Structure 1
Amino acid sequence: MSQSAAQPDPLSAALQDIDFSDPRMFQRNNWHGYFARLRDESPVHYQAESPFGPFWSVTRFADIVAVDSNFEDFSSEPTIVIGDLDDDMPLEQFIAMDPPKHDVQRKAVQSAVAPQNLAQMEALIRSRVADILDQLPMGETFDWVEKVSINLTTQMLATLFDFPFEERSKLTYWSDMATAAPEVSGGEADPEERQAALMDCLATFTRLWHERKGTERSSLDLISLLQKDPNTEDIVDKPMEYLGNLILLIVGGNDTTRNSATGGVLALNQNPGEYDKLRADQSLIPSMVSEIIRWQTPLAHMRRRAARDLELNGQQIKEGDKVVMWYMSGNRDERSIDNPNDFIIDRNNPRHHIAFGFGIHRCMGNRLAEMQLRILWEEIMQRFSHVEVIEEPRRVLSNFVNGYEELKVRVHPV
């Protein structure tokens, strides 16, 4: 697909002439009009042709909740992204499994983000955030994505995996490679580079697994948690399953927080009245964090497969059909959210959003993501009167990750 080719007009083009999987919609941030039309005219919409094959788009909040909450009829297997699995890299991961296998594998690592561990992590996160922010160059233009968003989330990932801290940049690289394949999300990753990166990830974590076997580690260490659980104690002997779950945990720990940490800065700059509200009342930070996550929606979609012939909002879906829940669209659905296109940091019910999903696959680390963002903004407001956006962001080319490559900013002291 040519990146410079014109996109059809969102208002006048026939719906069958619009490719709703086009990653340029998200990179150019012009997706709103296209999905508003689907919500109004064809909320469960069949697209017969796309670079990812035929699929249904589900775009209204209530319909997405119905699909996401019904794993019996809408299976997560074999994958949760719009593109099909690569035959050379048939990753298995619990987010793309149905019960009972999903449940036992998720349970093995769930305790890492249990309330007592989150409480234990808070002081560590705060000290790291303080260190990151104290090193920012006051009055100079720099890239917030690199200096803050990536730095913070990569340090957290290194902690959760007890990963060698000086090599933590590999975690970000592997995450980016995992989600950027053209056939997976319309990204631009070179297939050979991607395969090499994922094989390096597998080799590194296989070595860490064997080094840790039989040793006592931190209660946060995800590798040790997998080793201790009888359902996953031999997962290292199933390389595609081990790698798949590692990638799931790395991407899950990386993309949501990283892109929301950038999206919040952008949203406040685009809505200066809300920034004024925040300066006047910092007790709004927790509700603002939920609003940032809704407004950003770091993962644009999740995919399911119809397990039988069924009807959804008047449409007949056949067994085996690909069903794509557009979380970004659901979070802008005025049928379920008041003034959904407005960024409002003191909403009455700010956690009423779909960015974390629903049902058994609801984001495992959602409380950790919220905590990191809350601490980040508490520490920002102690230091800076304004994180000023200097130029338009550069966004990721992907129909899956709604993210940023660069956001140039300047910070001003309190």
Structure 2
Amino acid sequence: MSAPDIPKIDIISLDQYERSGTPHEQFTWLRKNDPVHWHHDPHEDVPGFWAITRHEDIVFVSRHPELFSSAVRTSMFTEYSDEDIALHQQMMLFMDPPQHTRQRSYVNRGFTPRMINQLRGHIEDITHALIDKVCEKGRAEFVRDLAAPLPLQTICELMGVPIEHADFLFEKSNQLVGFDDPEMQDGPNVAQNAAAEIYMFAQQIADERRKDPQNDIATKLLQPDDEGNLLTDEEFNLFILMLTIAGNETTRTATAGGILAFFDHPDQWARLKENPELMRSAAEEIVRWTSPLNLFRRTATQDVELGGKTIKAGDKVVMFYPSANRDEEVFADPFVFDIGRDQNGHIGFGGGGPHFCLGTHLARMNLSILFGALAERMPDIRLDGEVRRLRSNFVNGYKEIPVAFTPTPRRG
């Protein structure tokens, strides 16, 4: 290949993600020509990293925590101080087996399909109540009015707290994931302060449930398991903090990206309205297409061969999920948005292994219920202004999506 055919590779540029979104052209070139690519870091004092872009390689990294650690320097792209790393390592997302296995076995009890299915009626009620707030106006801001409140109010249902707390969680989660977006940061230490406030919020829930147990997942998580083991207050509080980020942002982003996918592919929106039985496969295709989380990081624990390259112990390894979800070796016509796609082996919920997303069943349910309700109650929903993306190379998120539709009556 001649030099002019080789694109400039920078798949972490904040300007790129804010301006035009996922750099799929670069990802496509990397998958074909250099799938385990040594990538520079824009900060002179920070070493580069291995960019992993093929589906099979990301699955391998995800399923071998003994080779690629989430704990050594956390799962985040950012380089933290040793003090901050020690704090992060107390969260399940930044643990390796066997510590991760122990904590996950505790919280799994609250996230079985049976437990989540009990929430279906509540989620349907929340969805129609959100639509009721805007349906008579004929206009809405999709992120603030629909995409964000649904997962946040669902988390409130999970914890058994009033849904009015969703506004608090919305503000704090924005501050946590918008650490690279000046609009989300109005002063120093905003993200740290937001984390502390959610931590205290969780502690209040724990105190109340121990005094007055309820039929909710918070109570279940605070009860001893079959062997009498308990989550400590700190473990419970940090789990709620993680749930506020991971359980909220991924669903919010998939929902926002999903409605944009339908705006760009009106034939698929018409297809969904005519065939509501496609909602299940549509939810999977939305997650594949949007890839809510752009990347996660691992650190090599020893020298290992991957994709013809030697990754050295201590090297930074970064998995790019949007690239894997457009891998031509895995998906037929990967750049076609097809809500009836069969054999959809996307890794929008992670590449398997110990850190496979705990809330997949809940996320699928949220997406299915909301888009089903939109197809029924706002069938002519359309874009009505400028889309504003989050300035982030971590979350493929959106700040504003103005929409319009024919006004309809409330359900009551």
Structures share a fold, TM > 0.5?
A: yes
Q: Give the alignment of 1:253-292 within 5 angstroms.
A: 253-292=247-286
Question: Cα 1:188–1:83, aligned 2, differ >3 Å: closer, same or farther?
Answer: farther
SS at match of 1:361: coil
- Counterpart secondary structure, 1:112: coil
1:39 aligns with 2:31: yes
- 1:107/1:214 Cα in 2 relative to 1: closer, same or farther (>3 Å)? farther
Q: Is the 8 A contact 1:299 1:327 kept in 2?
A: yes
- Which shows bigger deviation, 272-281 or 145-154? 272-281
Aligned to 1:49: 41
Instruction: Select 1:220's aligned residue among 191, 204, 217.
Output: 217
- Is this contact kept in 1: 2:199–2:238, CA < 8 A? no
Deviates more, 1:359-368 or 1:156-165: 156-165
Aligned-pair CA distance for 1:30: 5.0
Partner of 1:83: 78
Shift of 1:60: 0.7
Change (3 A) 1:232 1:297: farther
Paired AA for residue 126 in structure 2:
R
Give the residue type in structure 1 aligned to 2:224.
K
> CA contact under 8 A between 2:110 and 2:220: conserved in structure 1?
no
Among 134, 144, 166, the alignment partner of 1:136 is 134
Of the structure 1 ranges 116-125 and 224-233, higher mean CA displacement relative to structure 2 is found in 224-233
| Partner residue of 2:297 out of 289, 297, 303 | 303
AA at the equivalent of 1:20: I
**Structure 2, unpaired ranges of 5+:** none
Deviations 1:72-122 (A, max 9, x none): 111111411211235564222112111111011112111222122122111
Aligned 1:75-154 pairs, distance under 5 A: 75-77=69-71, 78-85=73-80, 89=84, 90-91=87-88, 92-138=90-136, 140-154=138-152
**Distance in 1 between the 2:27 and 2:294 partners?**
12
The one-letter code matched in structure 1 to 2:347 is: I
Number of the residue aligned with 1:343: 337
Rounded Cα–Cα distance in structure 1 between residues aligned with 2:238 and 2:333 = 38
Query: What's the Cα RMSD here?
Result: 2.4
- Find 2:12's aligned residue among 21, 24, 27: 21
Secondary structure of residue in 2 paired with 1:316 = strand
- Structure 1 pair 181/160, CA: closer, same or farther in 2 (3 Å)? same
1:315 & 1:105 partners in 2: Cα distance?
A: 34
Q: 1:248 deviation in Å? A: 1.5
**In 1: Cα distance, 2:81 partner to 2:162 partner:** 30
* CA offset digits 1:376-400 (Å, max 9, x no partner): 1222222122211123421111111
% identical equivalent positions: 32
Secondary structure of 1:175 counterpart: helix
Cα pair distance change 1:402/1:86, threshold 3 Å: farther
Q: CA deviation at 1:291?
A: 0.3
Amino acid paired to 1:201: I
**TM-aligned CA deviation for residue 191 of structure 1:** 3.6
The answer on 1:200 being equivalent to 2:197 is yes
Cα distance in 2 for residues equivalent to 1:310 and 1:186: 38
Matched with 2:64 is 70
Contact 2:178 2:390 in 1 (8 A): no
Q: In structure 2, what is the equivalent of residue 5 of structure 1?
A: none
* Contact residue 158 and residue 165 of structure 1 kept, 8 A: yes
* Matched-pair contact (CA < 8 Å) for 2:387–2:398: yes
Q: Which amino acid aligns with 2:42?
A: S
Residue segments in structure 1 that go unaligned for 5+ positions in a row: 1-10
Cα pair distance change 1:219/1:266, threshold 3 Å: same
- Relative to structure 1, is the Cα distance of residues 188 and 36 closer, same or farther in structure 2, using a 3 angstrom cutoff? farther
State which drifts further: 54-63 or 378-387.
378-387
- How far is 1:164 from its partner? 4.0
**Matching of residue 356 in structure 1 with residue 368 in structure 2:** no
| Count of residue pairs brought into register by the alignment | 396
TM-score by length of 1: 0.89
Q: Deviations over 1:285-343 (max 9, x none)?
A: 11111100110110001111111101001000000111111001101111111111111
Cα distance change, pair 121–207 in 1 and its aligned pair in 2 (3 A): closer
How far apart in 2 are the matches of 1:151 and 1:14? 43
| Contact 1:181–1:187, Cα closer than 8 Å, also in 2 | no
- Alpha-carbon offset, residue 220 of structure 1: 1.8
- Secondary structure of 1:131's counterpart equals helix
Letter in 1 for 2:31: R
For residues 82 and 169 of structure 2, the distance between their equivalents in structure 1, rounded to whole angstroms, comes to: 24
Corresponding residue SS for 1:385? coil
1:228 aligned counterpart, secondary structure: coil
Read off the aligned partner of 1:199 and give its amino acid letter. Answer: A
Name the aligned partner's letter for residue 379 of structure 1.
Answer: A
